[in-house]
Chains A and B, each alone.
Chain A
């Protein structure tokens, strides 16, 4: 008894000491900037100047402009499409790496192979798609030489399609990882038990494997969503400025020193991400399932 009373306050102090660096860091570099963005979004912006007089002008401008609202919808559309394509590409890969490959060593090697593209910088990975997808790029040349097409396919580059292809390639790993991890944790005996009870592969997949991998899907989807919603580089490099995401608007506005408008878009983007994450977390109880 005396032990607990003696160690009680000391334990509390240790806990606070351990938490302190994190709290300071988050307060300085996360909470304060977010509050600042919200604050600045209500500042008065003139062409060459910005003053802290409160106004709703930037907010009104955002919601009355087709360009801005349009880019909000483009962002949502690209996000949903990329989420779907990364899932379609990643799930079978994860199924293979996490479940079908029996050797732990081999599945680790395969995951590392998935990471190899990350050894080069983000921008190079994006730009590398240009010589692949361009009018005189690798894909068109190969298809022409094989005689499958006569004219080069022009929609491959500087379209929404190229943005989706680029983003899928960059972000699918963040989906493969968590799903493969969840699949690898499934007790093989469970699958054998289901087989012994007479369930076929389809039933075993939909009733056992998929539900048990769902937390991984959700975590992967959160990773991909957060990154895609904030994207500007891929769309900038591969769309030929035809696809303007909220991220691109922020970059342009900051570039022309329009801090108030950039803040409005920043706040909207943050709110959208918050809603998306909250929505995903409703699907599974991560605290229980991980």
Chain B
């Protein structure tokens, strides 16, 4: 228990009839980077706001450093919050923004000390020389850094980031990802990062917490979640799996591709057969593959730099995606509107079913 800096116990939050958080429990250690992944409306922002103290839970407890902080006001928690739209003070300069909490917080510091610490934070996020700029005179990425510096200047033990990279363009997002991780490692504080992007969640978190409709549906390292999604929903959010509906019976999954042996199926409330995009193989329609096969028409492909995504459409209108890593060699060229056979190694498929043990 010494290592758990932060704990949620059965936190529930309702807005009228809508259950935003349903009995959420979680332990977070010191010096950990946890990312929360979920679609919009999954309750991830509400969870962050409950932890920050902007919302009171209807049931459950929030513990921080061994203290029950469930009903403590936001500023007494020692928890920093980085807003999605940065929420910088638009009429103040960069250094005034960063020093705001130190000057106007509950234990104000002398001006010289505020200045020193604010400059130190500005240097840490790489904005030295911009102290005197207005926050409307800097770019989006720089604003993001100011928001981070402003929160970190208060030396919180826990930093909450609400989709911190959502307002940035793709290029900047990649750079800020690395930087966020580096800053966190330097300071040794715990970051809770909420995101709707599966790439971001997998890339950033030491641990990924997947939320759906107010409940945690999986917790684990990025590897765990990616290699072994706990439910069809997780597989769906990861956006890396072709999901086929069908029926699991007697260790056999019957789907649009026929019947396949599925000895290691996982218990779920739906029968779903999941194959990762990069596990799919494409064969000419005349081939006789060993494994399961599905006839589909090639639609188009998308070049992603390190890989190529190809899209196929099955007879019932279902789109199947196939990812080819370019490091594995030049891609095959497919003819649009031609039929191909899609196949995969059934050992690599992940099967969910009501009948699974």
A residues near B (Cβ < 8 Å) are: 187, 189-190, 192-200, 203, 207-208, 211-212
Contact = CB atoms under 8 A, between A and B. Distances in A.
Contacts of A198: 75, 101, 104-107, 154
A197 B104 contact: yes
Contact of B87 (A189, A199, A207): A189
Given A203-B104, A212-B91, A196 B85 contact: no
B81 A207 contact: no
A208 B84 CA distance: 19
B81 A196 contact: yes
Residue in A189, A193, A203, A207 with the greatest tally of chain B CB atoms within 10 Å: A193
| For the complex of A and B, 3 pairs with smallest distance between CB atoms | A198-B105, A197-B101, A189-B87
A187 B150 contact: no
B6 interface: no
20 contacts: A187-B85, A189-B83, A189-B87, A190-B89, A192-B74, A193-B87, A193-B89, A195-B73, A195-B75, A196-B54, A196-B151, A197-B100, A197-B105, A197-B150, A198-B104, A198-B106, A198-B154, A203-B104, A207-B100, A212-B91
Residue in B52, B54, B75, B151 with the greatest tally of chain A CB atoms within 10 Å: B75
A75 B107 CA distance: 48
Nearest to B162: A189
Contacts of A211: 91
Contact of A196 (B75, B90, B107): B75
A190 B106 CA distance: 17
Interface in B316-335: none
A170 to B, nearest CB: 32
B229 interface: no
Contact of A199 (B81, B83, B88, B104): B104
A137 to B, nearest CB: 46
Contacts of B79: 196
Given A207-B89, A207-B100, 13 more contacts: A189-B85, A190-B87, A190-B88, A192-B81, A193-B81, A193-B87, A194-B104, A196-B53, A196-B74, A196-B79, A199-B101, A200-B106, A211-B91
B38 interface: no
A190 B100 CA distance: 12
Nearest to B96: A207
B142 to A, nearest CB: 17
Contact of B52 (A194, A196, A207, A208): A196
Contacts of B232: none
B80 interface: yes
A190 B91 CA distance: 11
Interface in B104-123: 104-107
Contacts of A196: 52-54, 74-75, 79-81, 151
